[in-house]
Structure 1
Amino acid sequence: MEKEKRAHHAHVLLVPHPRQGHINPLLQFSKRLLSKGRIRVTLAVTVSLVKTMEVQTGPISVETFSDGYDNGRRKEDSPVEYFERFKMVGSQTLTELIKKQESLGDPINCVVYDSFLPWVLDVAKQFNLIGASFFTQSCAVYNIYYHVQQGILTVPVAGRPVISLSGLPSLAVTDLPSFVSEYELRPELLPIVLGQFSNIDKTDWLLINSFDKLEQEVVNWMAKLWPVKTIGPTVPSFYLDERVEGDKAYGLNLFKPVADACMNWLNMRETGSVVYVSYGSIAELGDEQMKELALSLKESNNHFLWVVRQSEEKKLPTNFVEETLEKGVLCPVLLVYIKPVIKLECGLT
């Protein structure tokens, strides 16, 4: 370990928002960093997360800090209360982690943090460290959020025929992220989303999980405001360019995967014959939406693989599982990329 510390040129600390859809892209980015050589990477995750996750991160070190919920998040706490406590306790414990690394002779040089945790940049700057905000979504999404944050696009937006924003083509209201288009359903969440821009002008880099050719116009627009680098798509290298040897999975799971049983079932289906449905770890469908989706899958001409969390199973129509045994599979979580299926993935991550 001592020899490794002396050999690397930089030590990068990565701080993800403790959600699977936020951890995965940041973890894949860290593997890319390591593949360049002479860089040491440490992933900082919350204490409560370590207690439940399965970890296989290889040469990436894992350290913990507290979000104030070491025994798990309390159900009665709202998202606003959670983020406020996370900021208060996390700022202190992350500071202690950075000091510990320095005392061990392995100081941090750069902090890459999830954009939903802007306070991490304030902690980094206390130590005069380079800070890079990591945006997990597309440039187009952040363009829209920024215009709302600046007051150029005001909410609610219902009733507007066309939305015109710099760097983007004309949009309908239904093209906007649900935090904006359906603001009235969860108004308390929009300030959290817009908080990503609270200190953005102090960051050294904006790293975005996208690529230039996909969003060239909006990337050029954002580059006039901030030092933007597109570093996506951040998926396992095996499914992209195979530049990172042996990189076939993310390596950190918040839920116990059930990939083997699903893959065995998929291997018996024809290529392109299966619809994959997943709404992520946060989005919740209403009873009617759940029934409508279930009926659509049941009456379709395709086999289906539907990720349904255990908390959502009660919303399924009566006897749906029994009536679709020959056609589909329901699973609580599936953390694997699948090449030979049609993947229709919607909702929040």
Structure 2
Amino acid sequence: MGSSVGQETHVLMVALAFQGHLNPMLKFAKHLARTNLHFTLATTEQARDLLSSTADEPHRPVDLAFFPDGLPKDDPRDPDTLAKSLRKVGAKNLSKIIEEKRFDCIVSVPFTPWVPAVAAAHNIPCAILWIQACGAFSVYYRYYMKTNPFPDLEVLNQTVELPALPLLEVRDLPSLMLPSHGAQVNTLMAEFADCLKDVQWVLVNSFYELESEIIESMSDLKPIIPIGPLVSPFLLGIEEDKTQDGKNLDMWKYDDFCMEWLDKQARSSVVYISFGSILKSSENQVEIIAKALKNRGVSFLWVIRPKEKGENVQVLQEMVKEGKGVVIEWGQQEKILSHMAISCFVMHCGWNSTIETVVTGVPVVAYPTWIDQPLDARLLVDVFGIGVRMKNDAVDGELKVEEVERCIEAVTEGPAAAGMRRRATELKHAARLAMAPGGSSARNLDSFISDITIT
């Protein structure tokens, strides 16, 4: 397996054209940077024109390759449609890239379950880079491999008891499992569970000290190998090439002026709000949160996509004009979270954002919507202990101003706020130690490198 001593080891990474898939792969390559390791990141042609100029720089740690997804250029690429098309043409089109160059290992995201079979057909060892929590992997595995009993997933308030996890309700499970998401998605996750037979390593963007009990609980089933946090080295106190410091493969141009604005704000005075790269806030939701910020008298930095929706809300316009806050369409989240002016993060609880807030030691207001976000919110609040959960009203299902105010106060000034900040600081230090030489994740990365380079 792998290359002979002195030869270069070539690793092919495969990801879909989503921000949350591409960046963990890029960070993975950066943390595995060695003189004898060479990385190629393959994704669908849809990403070719969307990737920012970062992808074109000569200092990037990976080569880029693109393969057709089988859909017309103007297709909106609904996730179900994309998965169905890739199930038909993905293997054939990816194989063309593999046949052009010798690869010693293939690393894939979990939502391309056809990739491990391609790797097996070419006699190339395969790893999955799991881009969600170890807890989410445990839930998926136990459900689809039928190792543990689950209740009727149609009934959202039914309880679910699983090893090393808090007592969950069905509504806390990853939404891709639920019948409401449709048969196509459920089929995709079942295919992922089945593809694990062709997978030699399950690498996870987490670290042992963060999810130790969950990791141990999987050791006799399908062992998971934490190799994170996969963040920019500067967040871990590691100096790196200035040309790459904090850079991502961004699909949108980021607004950098917000950093100058943050520099003028007092320490721990700004609420940072972002609901990720996919979800779009409704004008009503924006108005509710904006009113709560105004009532609390706190400054804010808010990512709203598309930006025009935020600009349509009068109370938000007024606050921006008064200098109480800044609205941007996209930003360098790692740099924002690590800024001393940030007091808390109102977030959707996607795993990449969850890891970044853990590494920067920022308490959270968790407002999840779908996929793994509800489970991540439970982890942030009930396991990691660094935040509170913001919930819609039980009667009309709408977010209320009072609820937003309650949550912001709880993480910034409330009686439990100091404990959340202390715990957040502890996890920040634990994350740095995990990736430092001799740390738990660093040892796992070294072991993986040894596996793929031994002949």
* TM-score after normalising by structure 2: 0.67
2:294 is aligned, of 286, 294, 298, to 298
Q: Shift in Å at residue 301 of structure 1?
A: 2.9
CA-to-aligned-CA distance 1:93-141 (integer Å, 9 cap, x gap): 110001011xxxxx11100000111111111111100100111111012
Q: Which residue matches 2:136?
A: 141
1:198 is aligned, of 194, 197, 200, to 194
Q: Which residue matches 1:211?
A: 207
CA-to-aligned-CA distance 1:119-176 (integer Å, 9 cap, x gap): 111111111001001111110122222233245324124222x421123232345543
Q: Secondary structure at the match of 1:344?
A: strand
Q: Is the 8 A contact 2:110 2:192 kept in 1?
A: yes
Q: Which residue matches 1:58?
A: 60
Change (3 A) 1:270 1:195: farther
Change (3 A) 1:157 1:212: farther
Cα distance in structure 1, aligned partners of 2:175 and 2:264: 37
| One-letter amino acid matched to 2:250 | N
Q: Is the 8 A contact 1:294 1:316 kept in 2?
A: no
1:221 and 2:220 matched? no
| One-letter amino acid matched to 1:38 | N
Cα distance in structure 2, aligned partners of 1:293 and 1:89: 44
Q: Which residue matches 2:118?
A: 123
Report the aligned-residue RMSD: 2.6
CA-to-aligned-CA distance 1:292-343 (integer Å, 9 cap, x gap): 2232233233211111111x74377641332111211111111341212133
Q: Secondary structure at the match of 1:108?
A: coil
Q: Is the 8 A contact 1:211 1:230 kept in 2?
A: yes
Q: Shift in Å at residue 70 of structure 1?
A: 6.7
Which shifted more, 23-32 or 86-95? Answer: 86-95
Q: Is the 8 A contact 1:80 1:188 kept in 2?
A: yes
Q: Is the 8 A contact 2:205 2:228 kept in 1?
A: yes
Change (3 A) 1:277 1:195: farther
Which shifted more, 268-277 or 298-307? Answer: 298-307
Q: Which has more helix, going by share of residues?
A: 2
Q: Shift in Å at residue 228 of structure 1?
A: 2.2
Q: Which residue matches 1:346?
A: 348
Q: Is the 8 A contact 2:276 2:348 kept in 1?
A: yes
Uncovered stretches (5+) of structure 1, i.e. residues with no partner: 102-106
Q: Which residue matches 1:84?
A: 84
Q: Shift in Å at residue 227 of structure 1?
A: 3.9
1:329 and 2:326 matched? yes
Q: Shift in Å at residue 216 of structure 1?
A: 0.7
Q: Is the 8 A contact 2:204 2:227 kept in 1?
A: yes
1:252 and 2:254 matched? no
Cα distance in structure 2, aligned partners of 1:315 and 1:189: 31
Q: Which residue matches 1:20?
A: 19
Within a 5 Å distance, the mapping from 1:86-101 to structure 2 comes to 86-101=86-101
Q: Which residue matches 2:44?
A: 46
Q: Secondary structure at the match of 1:304?
A: strand
Cα distance in structure 2, aligned partners of 1:240 and 1:29: 14
CA-to-aligned-CA distance 1:172-217 (integer Å, 9 cap, x gap): 455433445x763777544434543131122010010101111111
Q: Is the 8 A contact 2:126 2:200 kept in 1?
A: yes
Q: Shift in Å at residue 287 of structure 1?
A: 5.1
Change (3 A) 1:185 1:71: closer
Q: Which residue matches 2:70?
A: 68
Cα distance in structure 2, aligned partners of 1:70 and 1:30: 31
Q: Shift in Å at residue 240 of structure 1?
A: 1.1
Cα distance in structure 2, aligned partners of 1:32 and 1:191: 33
Q: Is the 8 A contact 1:32 1:244 kept in 2?
A: no
Q: Secondary structure at the match of 1:283?
A: coil
- Counting matched residue pairs gives 333
Q: Which residue matches 2:315?
A: 320
| One-letter amino acid matched to 1:167 | A
Q: Shift in Å at residue 30 of structure 1?
A: 0.7
Q: Shift in Å at residue 245 of structure 1?
A: 4.4
Q: Which residue matches 1:270?
A: 266
Q: Shift in Å at residue 243 of structure 1?
A: 6.0
| One-letter amino acid matched to 1:93 | N
Q: Is the 8 A contact 2:11 2:105 kept in 1?
A: yes
Cα distance in structure 2, aligned partners of 1:15 and 1:113: 5
Cα distance in structure 2, aligned partners of 1:193 and 1:135: 13
Cα distance in structure 1, aligned partners of 2:311 and 2:168: 34
Q: Is the 8 A contact 2:19 2:251 kept in 1?
A: yes
Q: Is the 8 A contact 2:165 2:214 kept in 1?
A: yes
Cα distance in structure 2, aligned partners of 1:318 and 1:61: 43
Cα distance in structure 2, aligned partners of 1:195 and 1:285: 32
Q: Is the 8 A contact 2:281 2:305 kept in 1?
A: no
Cα distance in structure 1, aligned partners of 2:87 and 2:93: 10
Q: Secondary structure at the match of 2:279?
A: coil
Q: Shift in Å at residue 272 of structure 1?
A: 1.2
Cα distance in structure 1, aligned partners of 2:42 and 2:5: 21
